[in-house]
Amino acid sequence: MKTAIDTRRILDQLEAQHPDAGTALDYGNAYELLVATILSAQSTDRRINLVTPELFRRFPDAHALAAATPAVLEPLIHATGFFRAKAKSLIGMATALVERHGGRVPADMAALVALPGVGRKTANVVLGHALGVPGLAVDRHVLRVANRIGIAASDDPEVVESQLTSKLPRARWTRASDTLILHGRRICRPKPLCDQCAVRDDCDYFARVILPARRAARPRTSPSRGTRRVRPPRR
């Protein structure tokens, strides 16, 4: 796995390639971002942004959402997929916010992950973007990109979070996550666009997998082709 110095340099290059990195979810406060992030599971940010304006208008805070019924909530979030489970999570999360935190979103990882429907990834997104507490959210993009480059080495999101945060200063955590997510969406897709990648020369996957595959795919030239005949010297 790459050193802390290399990891920071690689992140510098990726941040330069994606200066617009940040969450694409629309929100006005920590409550709204928490709701939007829970809804974003197995969906796209664009789809969530189409649904949340009406949702936030009808349920502007945790108190309103805690009083919602699944019958009212489910049609509003139907387009995000898994709407029954998400409605249950949202009502449970809002009820817990009201009962444990007076309706406010706590700026604390342990308190956030204790809420129904909230895992470390969601908690880190909300902490980093809406509560001013650095958080390195690890989603499937971060997992894939970090492992391919070699700045992390694990299939477990929590382990990858720990490996990356141990090599980066706290102030860089949120942006590092946003950058790796965007790189995974735009360039380092499941089928990666390595020739457009700013860190190709540092990437373990490029060196070990992509480059040898390209060499193997090159057409072979016959030994005689391209070789100039040398005339025997005149006597």
Q: Is 163 left (phi over 0), alpha (psi -120 to 50) or beta?
A: alpha
Asked whether the beta carbons of 73 and 90 are under 8 A apart, the reply is: yes
Smallest distance, ligand SF4 to C-beta of residue 210, A: 6
Is 24 exposed, middle or buried (CB count within 10 Å of its CB: 0-12, 13-18, 19+)? Answer: middle
Q: Judged by CB under 6 A, does residue 21 bind ligand SF4?
A: no
Task: Say which of 86, 121, 178, 202 is annotated catalytic.
Answer: 121
DSSP string, 78-125: GGGS-HHHHHHHHHHHHHHHHHHHTTPPPS-HHHHHTSTT--HHHHHH
Return the closest-CA partner of residue 112 out of 28, 25, 30.
30
* Closer to ligand SF4 by Cβ: residue 65 or 203: 203
Q: Which of 148, 180, 217, 224 binds ligand SF4 (CB under 6 A)?
A: 148
Q: Which stretch binds ligand SF4 (CB under 6 A): 20-28, 91-99, 196-204, 226-234?
A: 196-204
DSSP summary character for residue 172 = G
Q: Judged by CB under 6 A, does residue 149 bind ligand SF4?
A: yes
Q: Judged by CB under 6 A, does residue 106 bind ligand SF4?
A: no
139 is an active site residue: yes
Smallest distance, ligand SF4 to C-beta of residue 197, A: 3
191 is an active site residue: no
Smallest distance, ligand SF4 to C-beta of residue 185, A: 12
Catalytic residues: 121, 139
Contact footprint for ligand SF4 (CB under 6 A) = 145, 148-149, 187-188, 192-194, 197, 199-200, 203, 205-206
